[in-house]
Every structure is written in structure tokens, then in C-alpha cells.
């Protein structure tokens, strides 16, 4: 029977996942894009990602994709969320303010209508339609995986989801990962992990301070609930339309509750150091890789280290659907006696993205 903690975490994951795919607003815009070779496209800009501008044209089935570096001019009255290499995010209407090899993009900032900013085209790494509405500022993905073997009557499923919310100077992100595995003659195993992160940009480009919270349940490692809270300062090491890499370091606290309660292995409280990183890479219209990991050395228990990692690789075959290969894992260098040091696994299945992804 699953513990109360495991049931609670799973309920949170499932209910939150159902809330994520919020209906996005429909556009009826006539955006104008002029290419450097003179071609003119009138349609609906759906987004910029990995150096590719996606446009929906009414008389074409599906979307067309054009190289962002080859765009000479654009005009749109739609509200867009624009991310830049410096880490700053703006919301506003777009237009170009001149003709050159790298035309500056003028953004009429929505929050302050009298304010405009100009950003070099090459420094804009992504953009997507948004709204003044709170709910329309979310983007994310839902990933599923299922494996079945008749030979030993084994079943494994994986459900994960990521959702992010962006403002000009700060952002927040929540990710979930739930795994269930059963087979004939073996105990049921479950693993549920929730990660919450937020960051706010500092005055210096690509520097930020942020906080991180992680909640882990693992029947394999006999963990009812492992809570980790940390905060510190971080920096974007790379922030382009091909890759995003950041590192966050600081201090934190960890509480671990185990299933088998004895004098030596009850609830453990530990002061910890904290290093987290996220790596995202993109390739023209085809695939992307997202890796997140955290290294947590214990300060009050020298020599003990926790490490958690999640990775997902997507091969895209439509703008919103892709096939994913995912990996999850958690390690403890010094668990209580007789307890496993690790829990990890892989899965494969469908992914659906929503919002500005």
C-alpha cells in the first residue's frame, strides 16, 4: 500500500497536470514579414525558437518556418513575450525601426505604453504570442511514456510536465515527474518528484538570484518524503537561440523522512550546500534536449552528497507534438544502513507542448 505522502504527492501531480493545458487565446492578426530577398509573407506569427520563425498562413495547411536571421522587416499589433540574450524578458508589440543587416526590433512595452526599447535582432532568442491575461502567460509541456512486457507481466509508466511563467525581470517554473512500475512477483515501485524554481534578474546582464524547492518520494530508496529548500545567486553561462545554460549556487536545508522508522533512520534534518544547473539545446525544427540537475552536499554531515537529475530529449514531428526519450535519477552517497543508494530509470513516449514553447 502506498504511504499517505506518496498518495498526496501523486494527487498534486495529477491535479496540477490537468490544470496546465489551459486554453490559449486565438488570434486573428495580419502580421507582415518581409525577407531580405524581398519575399513578403502575411499571416500569423506563432513564435520564434531555435533561430526559426514559425508563421501560420491562411491558405497553407500547417505552418511555414523561416530563418530569423533572414527577416528584414516585420510589423505586428499582437502582444508578444520576447526573451533576449541578456536574460531580460519584455512584453509588447513589435516592429522594425530601420533597414540593415541586423535591423533593431522595436518593442512597445505593454506595462508602460509610453516606453519603447530597441533590441538588435540577433539578440532576440525567442518570442511568442501572449496576453495581458495572467493565464495566457504560461507555457510548458506534458510528456508521457508507457512500457509493457507480457513475458513477466511488467508495466511501467512515466508522466512528467513542465510549466513556466515569465515576466520582464523574473520567472518561475514548476516541473513534475511521476513513475509507476509493477511486475509479476515484485513489489510495486513508485517515484514522484516536484521541483519549483524562481529567479529574478540582477542589474548585471545574465546574473540573477533565485530559490529552489524539491519534493521527492521514492519507494525504491524507502523515502516517504525528501524536502530540499535552497537559495543563492546564479548566472546564465550561455543564452542564445541554440542553447541556454545556467548555474545556481547557494545554501539550503534538507529534511528526509524514511519508511522504516528506527532510532537511526527516522526523519533527518541537514544543513546543505546547493548547486543546480539547467541545460537546454535546440536544433532547427527537429529536436531539443533539456537537462536539469542538482548537487546537494551536506554541511552538517560532511561526506554525504545527494544528486538528482532529470533529462528529456524530444524529436519533433509537428509544431506541438514530439516523441520523447526521458531519464530520471536520484543518488545518496551515504543512506541509512541497508537502504539503496540510488533510484533511476528511462522511458519513451509522446510529448505535447503548449503556450509559447
Model pLDDT for residues 96-125, shown as the tens digit of each residue: 865 666 678 888 766 666 678 888 888 888
- Nine-digit cell string for 244: 541556454
Residue 73's closest CA among 26, 106, 49? 106
Q: How far apart are CA 275 and CA 230, in angstroms?
A: 9
Q: What's residue 9's pLDDT?
A: 46
Contact call for residues 122 and 147 (beta carbons, < 8 A): no
Read out DSSP for 27-76? ----EEEEETTS-EEEEEEEEEETTEEEEE-TTSSSEEEEEGGGEEEEEE
Q: What's residue 181's pLDDT?
A: 83
Q: Which segments in the chain show pLDDT lower than 70?
A: 1-29, 97-102, 109-114, 131-136, 148-153, 260-267, 284-285, 355-357
Tell me the Cα Rg of the chain.
Answer: 23
Q: What's residue 38's pLDDT?
A: 85
Q: How far apart are CA 294 and CA 305, in angstroms?
A: 10
Q: How far apart are CA 230 and CA 246, in angstroms?
A: 16
Q: How buried is residue 1: exposed, middle or buried, by Cβ count under 10 Å (0-12/13-18/19+)?
A: exposed
Read out DSSP for 136-166? GGEEEEEEEEEEEETTTTEEEEEEEEEEEEE
Residue 217's closest CA among 27, 80, 13, 64? 13
Q: What's residue 297's pLDDT?
A: 94
Residues facing 199 on adjacent strands: 171, 210
Q: What's residue 4's pLDDT?
A: 47
Q: How far apart are CA 88 and CA 105, in angstroms?
A: 15
What does DSSP say about strands 89-96 and 71-84: parallel, antiparallel, or unpaired? Answer: antiparallel
Q: What's residue 193's pLDDT?
A: 93
The long-range contacts involving 112-117, CB below 8 angstroms and separated by at least 24 positions, are 117/90
Q: What's residue 301's pLDDT?
A: 85
Q: What's residue 18's pLDDT?
A: 40
Q: How far apart are CA 176 and CA 196, in angstroms?
A: 9
Q: How far apart are CA 316 and CA 213, in angstroms?
A: 30
Write b or e for each residue in 240-257: b if 16 or more Cβ atoms lie within 10 A of its Cβ, otherwise e: ebebbbbebebebebebb
Amino acid at each position: 500500500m502506498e504511504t499517505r505522502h506518496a498518495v498526496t504527492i501523486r494527487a498534486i501531480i495529477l491535479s496540477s497536470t490537468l490544470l496546465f493545458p489551459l486554453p490559449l487565446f486565438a488570434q486573428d492578426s495580419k502580421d507582415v514579414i518581409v525577407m531580405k530577398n524581398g519575399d513578403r509573407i502575411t499571416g500569423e506569427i506563432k513564435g520564434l525558437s531555435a533561430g526559426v520563425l514559425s508563421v501560420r498562413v491562411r491558405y497553407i495547411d500547417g505552418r511555414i518556418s523561416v530563418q530569423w536571421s533572414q527577416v528584414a522587416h516585420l510589423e505586428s499589433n499582437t502582444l508578444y513575450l520576447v526573451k533576449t540574450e541578456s536574460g531580460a524578458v519584455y512584453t509588447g508589440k513589435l516592429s522594425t525601426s530601420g533597414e540593415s543587416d541586423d535591423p533593431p526590433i522595436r518593442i512597445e512595452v505593454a506595462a508602460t505604453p509610453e516606453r519603447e526599447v530597441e533590441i538588435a535582432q540577433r539578440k532576440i532568442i525567442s518570442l511568442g504570442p501572449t496576453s495581458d491575461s495572467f493565464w495566457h502567460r504560461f507555457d510548458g509541456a506534458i510528456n508521457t511514456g508507457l512500457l509493457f512486457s507480457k513475458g513477466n507481466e511488467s508495466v511501467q509508466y512515466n508522466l512528467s510536465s513542465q510549466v513556466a511563467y515569465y515576466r520582464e525581470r523574473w520567472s518561475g517554473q514548476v516541473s513534475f515527474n511521476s513513475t509507476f512500475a509493477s511486475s509479476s512477483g515484485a513489489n510495486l515501485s513508485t517515484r514522484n518528484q516536484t521541483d519549483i524554481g524562481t529567479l529574478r534578474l540582477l542589474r548585471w546582464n545574465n546574473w540573477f538570484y533565485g530559490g529552489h524547492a524539491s519534493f521527492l518520494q521514492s519507494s525504491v530508496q524507502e523515502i516517504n518524503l525528501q524536502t530540499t529548500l535552497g537559495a543563492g545567486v546564479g548566472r546564465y553561462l550561455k543564452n542564445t537561440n541554440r542553447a541556454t545554460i545556467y548555474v545556481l549556487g547557494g545554501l539550503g536545508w534538507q529534511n528526509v523522512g524514511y519508511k522504516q522508522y528506527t532510532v537511526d533512520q527516522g526523519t533527518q534534518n541537514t544543513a546543505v550546500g546547493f548547486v543546480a544547473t539547467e541545460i537546454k539545446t535546440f536544433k532547427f525544427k527537429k529536436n531539443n534536449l533539456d537537462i536539469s540537475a542538482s548537487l546537494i552536499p551536506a554541511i552538517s554531515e560532511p561526506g554525504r552528497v545527494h544528486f538528482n537529475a532529470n533529462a528529456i530529449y524530444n524529436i519533433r514531428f509537428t509544431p506541438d507534438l514530439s516523441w520523447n526519450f526521458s531519464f530520471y535519477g536520484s543518488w545518496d552517497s551515504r543512506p541509512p544502513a541497508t537502504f539503496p543508494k540510488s533510484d533511476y530509470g528511462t522511458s519513451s513516449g509522446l510529448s505535447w507542448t503548449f503556450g509559447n514553447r
